[in-house]
Structure 1
Amino acid sequence: MSENTALTPFRIDIPQADVDDLRNRLARTRRPAPVPGRDDRADFSRGIPPVYLEELAEYWRDGFDWRAQEARLNEYEQFTTVVDGQTFHVVHARSADPGATPLILNHGWPGSFVEYQRLVPLLTDEFHVVIPSLPGFGFSTPLSGTGWELARTVEAYAEIMTRLGYERFAAHGTDIGSGTTGRLAAVHPERVIGTHIGCDPRWLGLLGDKFPYPEGLSEDEAAQIEAVRAEAAAERGYLAMQEHRPDTIGAALTDSPVGQLAWIAEKFKSRSGAYRTPDETVDRDQLLTNISLYWFTRSGASSAQFYYESAHSGIDLVMASEVPSGWAVFDTHPLMRRAMDPWKAIGHWSEFTEGGHFPAMEVPELLADDIRAFFRGVS
């Protein structure tokens, strides 16, 4: 029997009982005993500062309005569709211009389609915007089974674009989304017009693993890169846990909203000039909307499975492609291009002093302008 290829209209409507349960759980939070000297709300050296976490949790409980945020998300057309047995949630923001270019926006972890909430209206003048949720993320839950890694997901995304009637399309991604974006171009070069990647200096931490070290570094330059690599390594604890023990961390994330809050909010801190807390980096309500999505859909556990599957798939996540590619580097580092594109093979290379790891949330206007500029040059 062939699979049902229907696009089923979807509207977010979290049961009030779930909203009430979240508030009740937050009110009953069992907090760790305070450690003297850990009272700096911006000191993330040991993880998310307890004093800051408590402040954010109190706002989530008493100040955050889920229904208002839910209504904003429902302003966009959404649907679900089943591909290879898995339900996928998709946002489809059509342009008023019928001839606009289809553009798939690929999110990563701990992002979601919410990550692109502020970017979408800046793009629909030129693009039909499509945002699928990764399997196990948001409303692309529950998982239909094991085996949902990056390569299988890319094939599902290509099928979703086919079902929408988009034979050719553009692609943008950050974080894991850069992997889905790049693989789409590598395995479907006849369909992908171009790829636009958003990245930051954390990518220097991939040197020696996914990318070779640049040649001819001075001692000072080598020390700069090693400092970035060391900082990136210190933040990879979550990665090891999700790649190897997703069931263990998943149990905690599903049962404790403050645990889920800490696990995600820490990743939104910024080092743009000086340390800033997550809600000084991105909008507090947008941040909590994203975290609420993980909580209500139990995606803390299922999204961790995506890391496990991809890490154990044996598939090379970095693939070469002849499709035109553009990179936008946010919170740039002086050695980024020399390290990541020493041959100047990437035709469109932009660098910005701000924007961080989540540019669609931090600097959506800069990102939108760069996406438009790149695709105008390749369409």
Structure 2
Amino acid sequence: MSETITPFKIDIPQTALDDLKTRLAITRWPEQETVNDWSQGVPLHKLKALCEYWQNEYDWRSCEARLNAHPQFITPIDGLDIHFLHIRSPHDNALPMVMTHGWPGSVLEFMDVIGPLTNPTEYGGDANDAFHLVIPALPGYGFSGKPEQTGWSIERTANAWITLMRRLGYANFVAQGGDWGSAVTGALGNIHPPECLGIHLNMAIALPNEAERANLNDKEKAALASFQFYQDWDSGYSKQQSTRPQTVGYALADSPVGQAAWIYEKFYAWTDNNGEPEDALSTSKILDDISLYWLTNTAASSARLYWESFNSAFGSGFESDIPVGISIFPKEIFRSVKPWADRKYPNLRYWNELEKGGHFAAFEQPETFVNEVRSCFKAMR
């Protein structure tokens, strides 16, 4: 099989952008919700305002230009084309790092951390903290290929990332991820290839055992309560995507408003905001991510990762002694506590609990995220 690495540039046809505006203009809206909050989903007035901006003011070409400002490539791995950004640091001693996004995120989450991580001296940092960055799109996401057969689990993806880093010629590297990126990075750490020096997670799921559940303190009770809230009130999307991704895919592939609502709700529920998603992320950044899903028609293909892996991805054990670092952001979906993480990860080297930030750590709090990654890997270089 070819190991060719081909330069790639994003160029969405204008016809696709025109079609998007046409579809937005002829939307058939449902009636207003019967509550005055987000408990039934995205409020009608919020989604109408977002989609009006999308139709009349939003500029995809600006997002496209920001992505195209970074070197991008396509390479076939295990029968699937993988799209990735590859930004080499100007500093010779930079540490290679593969960074993995999740759902409903994308490579766009990392746009504001690329500069400080690859060229810290330009941002008041130390050259010894520099990284070479490899930022792939998950299979079925963005501009990566869409699997045509079953089997693209998180473990297979982790092995693909190992192949990618070897193909790029890196003798050693570290790995970072949140959401599905956390699962893929955790799987990569469990495989523990000799080249991987350590991993960093910004969503680590470590739950208490029976003995720990019998003697919970207030902090631990709060951690379990957040997990229970997700199970009871916030996991409907995952149940649908992990059981019937094709069915929901029809609606989301045909309606940009449907696709927008499906993602916008998560920017409300999972960011550290004061009641509005826009408190955490600008409207343009929110629409950049939604547009990437819409323009690549990846609602169904991205959802299939849930079908492949959801029931095993986050609850699985960890049997590697690879160095692990964990950053806990206060509005993360799952917030573990250190004793549980110590038990799950036998070589937990770094742990920090932050005061601000949510599920989309690099997107919401780029400066804090950069500092966490630097601090975590400082001792692993």
Q: TM-score, normalised by structure 2?
A: 0.89
1:141 aligns with 2:140: no
| Aligned residues of 2:272 and 2:280 also touching (Cα < 8 A) | no
Displacement after TM superposition at 1:344 (Å): 9.1
Which of 11, 16, 28 is equivalent to 1:13?
11
Report the Cα offset of residue 351 of structure 1. 0.7
Question: Which has the higher mean CA deviation after the structures are superposed, 295-304 or 327-336?
Answer: 327-336
What is the CA distance between 1:69 and its match in structure 2? Answer: 1.1
CA distance in 2, matches of 1:378, 1:321: 16
Quick one: which amino acid aligns to residue 43 of structure 2?
P
Task: Indicate if the aligned counterparts of 1:149 and 1:313 stay in contact, CA closer than 8 A.
Answer: no
Contact 1:332 / 1:351 at 8 angstroms: preserved in 2? no
| Residue 46 (structure 1) shift | 1.4
Structure 1 equivalent of residue 265 of structure 2: 266
Query: 8 Å contact 2:197–2:322 — kept in the other structure?
Result: yes
Q: 1:120-139 residue pairs with structure 2 within 5 A? A: 120-125=114-119, 126-139=130-143
2:61 corresponds to 1:76 = no
For 1:107 and 1:344, the matched residues in 2 are separated by 21
Which whole-Å CA distance do the structure 1 matches of 2:2 and 2:344 have between them? Answer: 46
Q: Which moved more, 1:346-355 or 1:277-286?
A: 277-286
Whether 2:186 is the aligned partner of 1:192: answer no
5+ residue gaps, structure 2, are 120-129
Q: Distance in 1 between matches of 2:146 and 2:66?
A: 24
Report deviation, 1:314.
Answer: 9.5
Contact 2:192 2:322 in 1 (8 A): no
Q: Contact 1:214–1:338 (CA<8 Å) still a contact in 2? A: no
Q: Which residue of 1 aligns with 2:238?
A: 239
Residue 318 of structure 2 is aligned to residue 319 of structure 1: yes
* Structure 2 CA distance for aligned equivalents of residues 221 and 375 of structure 1: 27
* Structure 1 residue 378: Cα displacement: 1.3
8 Å Cα contact 2:183/2:313 also seen in 1: no
Please state whether the residue corresponding to 1:353 is helix, strand or coil: coil
The C-alpha deviation readout for 1:238-270, integer Å capped at 9, x for no partner, is: 111011100100111100001000111111125
Separation in 1, partners of 2:187, 2:139: 16
Give the stretch that moved more between structures: 185-194 or 110-119: 185-194
Q: Secondary structure at the match of 2:202?
A: strand
CA deviations on 1:129-174 (whole Å, 9 max, x unpaired) are 0011110000013324322111111111111111111121011100
Identify the residue that residue 298 of structure 1 maps to in structure 2: 297
**Does residue 365 in structure 1 map to residue 367 in structure 2?**
yes
Deviations along 1:3-39, one digit per CA (max 9) or x if unpaired, are 110001000000000011111111111100224x54x
Residue 362 of structure 2 is aligned to residue 374 of structure 1: no
Q: Is contact 1:78–1:91 with CA below 8 Å preserved after alignment?
A: yes
Match of 1:163 in 2: 167
Describe the SS at the equivalent of 2:198: strand
Aligned residues: 367
CA distance in 2, matches of 1:272, 1:109: 13
> Are the counterparts in 2 of residues 141 and 297 from structure 1 also a CA contact under 8 Å?
no
1:18-167 to 2 correspondence within 5 Å?
18-35=16-33, 37-38=34-35, 40=36, 43-125=37-119, 126-167=130-171
Distance 1:273 1:84 in 2: 38
Number of the residue aligned with 1:337: 338
Distance 2:289 2:202 in 1: 19
**How far is 1:279 from its partner?**
2.0
- Opposite residue 329 of structure 1, the aligned amino acid is I
1:212 and 1:88, CA in 2 relative to 1: closer, same or farther beyond 3 A?
Answer: farther
Q: Report the AA paired with residue 18 of structure 2.
A: D
